[in-house]
Structure 1
Amino acid sequence: MTTEMILTNARLVLEDRILSGSLVVRDGVIAEIDEGKSASGVDMDGDYILPGLVELHTDHLESHYSPRPGVRWNAISAIQSHDAQIASSGITTVFDCLRLGSDEDDGFKMGEMRAIADALAEARSENRLRADHLIHLRCEVSASDVLEHFADFATDGQVRLASLMDHAPGQRQFQTMEQYTLYYKTKRGLSDEAFAHFVQRRQDASARYSDAHRKVLASACAERGITVASHDDATLDHVAEAVGFGVRLAEFPTSIEAAQASHKAGMSVLMGAPNVVRGGSHSGNIAAADLARAGVLDVLSSDYVPFSLIQAPFVLADEIDELDLATAIRLVTSTPAKTVGLDDRGSLTTGKRADLVRVRRDSGIPVVREVWRQGQRVA
């Protein structure tokens, strides 16, 4: 039996403009888009209708699974809690980051990430989830056991994205020791001697493992059709390396030169939506808004605050004269979807999935009023 829903008197955020009109959904797919108010349907009262947001990089699931140091929550319960916050933020497709590669400070044990992935599959099969969940493997290439962790996902079809990361001091995110010291020494209360030992171990591991692990992981992803992301590129050499590995997504470049080179090379440049909302990077690196002004920002990620993904495009449209709202919304919808090959969603286009978000925004922070995934209301 055909199911139909008509949303009318809405501001439809298309890829290139905002249209006052109506949208018809049939059997979970966008069937018609018309200008003007329909004689029938649900009155949206002039609210925006956006495509469902597509989130490529969020660490948020980890904080639900491990809400305190040493605490592990029931995986299904953690997933449902995470999922509810994701959906209520307007996110209908989310790539949940699972961290691969242990260290002595905050890594997860062998098998923990695999267990979360199994719980995600179970939750999906039992129809527990509001959003569409896929997996993003965050591979710490300087970790000695990252390949063993990766092998746990050798046949997992949920994996659609993998990032190659190295958080050793003196490079990439932590090019200077000032931020690294704050992040690892001050927050953890390490003594000078303990911190010096910690830094040396990290640098030695990076020198020993990183290059070889990058090559193995990039090759494995290419064979399986998994999109590869670089992470915290800072120099032109980093970008050249990413190009050689077939990287399609440049996550959080730390310099304007790296961002410009990545964008020119055809990679989608991703920055954090919290960076936009806060007005700058918490790590002291470049501001996402500056990349938007330079025309080299392609994708936003909520990273550690899910609601920032719906808030940030409105902030950019307010603050940057050259960036209208329809263009800003592409940063969280169509461009991330295209980057990872999800061609069935990400825009208000006939034939695409009816992943929709109703947003009221007169001024200030937007309000998510309703969310649909494939035509079914989920929030």
Structure 2
Amino acid sequence: MQQHPAFIIEGATVVFADRLAPACVHVEDGRITAIDGARDGAFVIDGRGQMLAPAFVDIHGDAFERQIMPRPGTMLPVAPALLETDRQLAANGIATAYHALTLSWEPGLRSVENGRAIVAGLEQLAPRLTVDNRVQLRWETFCFEAIDLIRDALAGPRLPSIAFNDHTSMLLLDPAVRMQERPFEFDPAYPALEPENPVFADKMAERGKRAKIPAADMVALTRSVWERRSEVQAAIDTVAALGRAADAPMLSHDDSQIETRDFYRGHGARISEFPMNRRVAEAARAAGDFIVFGAPNATRGGSHLASIGAADMIREGLCDILASDYYYPAMLLGLARLLADGVAPLHALWPLVSANPARASGLADRGVVEVGRRADLVLVEWPDGGVPSVRRTFVEGREAYRAVPAGH
């Protein structure tokens, strides 16, 4: 690790695990070395009037897709898209990001080919990036051709996570059944819409646009994929075994049944990402799983899919982690909304975006302001009654972002 000069952040209100309190935080060689210690010639950063907190750990964010495909069907080169995404992360106080990289049988943005380009791009750009960019291998379980990429990524320098994702069964769900209540995907009586149904063709139009293929071709492709449904469980066994061998954090996505959560827990996935109803969240809590909801859900005061609200889940002890999902600023804005709504005090809310996702991801070196931890820190300007904004982000003691207001 490159050595950086020692510095002290003075005068800020610090978000500790159990309180907010004024304190001076001393940083040296990328670590927090003292709280309220001597200056010892260290460079001083004035934090007066600001809040100093652990930088965010984003366990699931797919806003990077908008840099790669800013308009439907319009793809841009991977390298500049990743550089721009990295800067957005730093500007929003996110020091560790797991990019939710969907690996699907669909062509285009979410194809295995594009996924491989992104994994390779992040590795090649690593010396130029400002934050810890990782990937969440958001694997579409019908995508058999992604298994080699998953194996390769698990052997890379930054251990990814694996999210088991079945949007294929969701895509074929009979519209008479609410998405939030869809049966376990391997239920023999799963209420699938027949691919010959005209409703199915209508559903394919938007998918085809994203994949840059005609709707009729999308219908044919989806039909051929669905015909391999009997092979999916064996593929899940293979990927889960790879994840366990690498000690990778594993998640299941959009659980709608307790049976679904039990199935993926049995394969080693101890994180329930965006459970779609309360009973699944309660079952995950009873089993000791981590539970993730979207920070945009908290920011907006409810889910954009009419699923359960993050604020209610936090109040009931059924949410451990908030993820940026599709909007990086929501990590901070979600906390602000929860605080304003009286859900909990700020020091009790902050672990949702720092300590808890770090712990769930096996990153024991970050997520809290404590001596010995990585100096992943964020300085926030938070005026009374105003919108908070990130002023500085530090990643392992290195300044990754700084914004100086016009009046300063």
Q: TM-score by structure 2 length? A: 0.82
1:6 to 1:104, Cα distance in 2 relative to 1, 3 A:
closer
Q: In structure 2, how many angstroms separate the alpha carbons of the residues matched to 1:30 and 1:69?
A: 44
Q: Deviations over 1:312-364 (max 9, x none)?
A: 1121122134x110111100000000111111110001011111100011224
Output the amino acid matched with 2:134: L
Q: In structure 1, how many angstroms separate the alpha carbons of the residues matched to 2:153 and 2:88?
A: 26
Structure 1 residues 247-266: aligned runs within 5 Å: 247-266=269-288
Q: Deviations over 1:73-109 (max 9, x none)?
A: 222111110011111000011112222121268642x
Report whether the alignment pairs 1:103 with 2:106.
yes
Does the 8 Å CA contact 2:75/2:109 hold for their aligned counterparts?
A: no
Output the amino acid matched with 1:360: E
1:174 to 1:186, Cα distance in 2 relative to 1, 3 A:
farther
Q: For the aligned residues, what is the CA RMSD?
A: 3.2
Deviates more, 1:277-286 or 1:67-76: 67-76
| Shift in Å, 1:277 | 1.0
Structure 1 residues 172-211: aligned runs within 5 Å: 173=179, 175=181, 184=203, 201=223, 204-205=226-227, 207-211=229-233
Provide the secondary structure at the position in 1 that maps to 2:60.
Answer: strand
Q: In structure 1, how many angstroms separate the alpha carbons of the residues matched to 2:264 and 2:289?
A: 9
Does the 8 Å CA contact 1:100/1:150 hold for their aligned counterparts?
A: no
Report whether the alignment pairs 1:56 with 2:77.
no
| Shift in Å, 1:66 | 2.4
Aligned to 2:241: 219
User: Match for 1:17 among 16, 19, 42?
Assistant: 19
Q: In structure 1, how many angstroms separate the alpha carbons of the residues matched to 2:32 and 2:218?
A: 58
| Shift in Å, 1:115 | 1.7
1:337 to 1:208, Cα distance in 2 relative to 1, 3 A:
same
Structure 2 residue runs of 5 or longer lacking an equivalent are 183-190, 192-198, 210-214, 402-408
Aligned to 1:341: 362
Provide the secondary structure at the position in 2 that maps to 1:220.
Answer: helix
Aligned to 2:142: 142
Q: In structure 2, how many angstroms separate the alpha carbons of the residues matched to 1:38 and 1:155?
A: 42
Q: In structure 2, how many angstroms separate the alpha carbons of the residues matched to 1:290 and 1:36?
A: 44
Output the amino acid matched with 1:155: A
Q: In structure 2, how many angstroms separate the alpha carbons of the residues matched to 1:271 and 1:236?
A: 17
Structure 1 residues 21-36: aligned runs within 5 Å: 21-34=23-36
Does the 8 Å CA contact 1:8/1:37 hold for their aligned counterparts?
A: no
| Shift in Å, 1:152 | 4.7
Aligned to 1:326: 347
Q: In structure 2, how many angstroms separate the alpha carbons of the residues matched to 1:308 and 1:65?
A: 20
Q: In structure 2, how many angstroms separate the alpha carbons of the residues matched to 1:243 and 1:138?
A: 16
Aligned to 1:230: 252
Output the amino acid matched with 1:336: P
Output the amino acid matched with 2:327: V
Provide the secondary structure at the position in 1 that maps to 2:27.
Answer: strand
Q: In structure 1, how many angstroms separate the alpha carbons of the residues matched to 2:269 and 2:178?
A: 16
Q: In structure 1, how many angstroms separate the alpha carbons of the residues matched to 2:310 and 2:335?
A: 11
| Shift in Å, 1:210 | 3.3
Aligned to 1:43: 46
Q: In structure 2, how many angstroms separate the alpha carbons of the residues matched to 1:21 and 1:147?
A: 48
Provide the secondary structure at the position in 1 that maps to 2:36.
Answer: strand
Provide the secondary structure at the position in 1 that maps to 2:84.
Answer: helix
Provide the secondary structure at the position in 2 that maps to 1:24.
Answer: strand
Does the 8 Å CA contact 1:111/1:152 hold for their aligned counterparts?
A: no
Q: In structure 2, how many angstroms separate the alpha carbons of the residues matched to 1:189 and 1:174?
A: 24
Output the amino acid matched with 2:363: L
Report whether the alignment pairs 1:299 with 2:334.
no
Provide the secondary structure at the position in 1 that maps to 2:12.
Answer: strand
| Shift in Å, 1:174 | 5.5
Q: In structure 1, how many angstroms separate the alpha carbons of the residues matched to 2:349 and 2:161?
A: 23
Provide the secondary structure at the position in 1 that maps to 2:136.
Answer: strand
1:200 to 1:64, Cα distance in 2 relative to 1, 3 A:
closer
Does the 8 Å CA contact 1:7/1:23 hold for their aligned counterparts?
A: yes
Structure 1 residue runs of 5 or longer lacking an equivalent are none
Q: In structure 1, how many angstroms separate the alpha carbons of the residues matched to 2:236 and 2:230?
A: 12
- What is the percentage of aligned positions where both structures have the same residue? 29
Q: In structure 2, how many angstroms separate the alpha carbons of the residues matched to 1:283 and 1:97?
A: 18
Aligned to 2:123: 121
| Shift in Å, 1:195 | 12
Q: In structure 2, how many angstroms separate the alpha carbons of the residues matched to 1:159 and 1:175?
A: 33
| Shift in Å, 1:111 | 2.7
Q: In structure 2, how many angstroms separate the alpha carbons of the residues matched to 1:249 and 1:278?
A: 24
1:19 to 1:188, Cα distance in 2 relative to 1, 3 A:
same
Q: Matched residue pairs, number?
A: 370
Structure 1 residues 359-370: aligned runs within 5 Å: 359-362=380-383, 363-370=385-392
| Shift in Å, 1:281 | 1.1
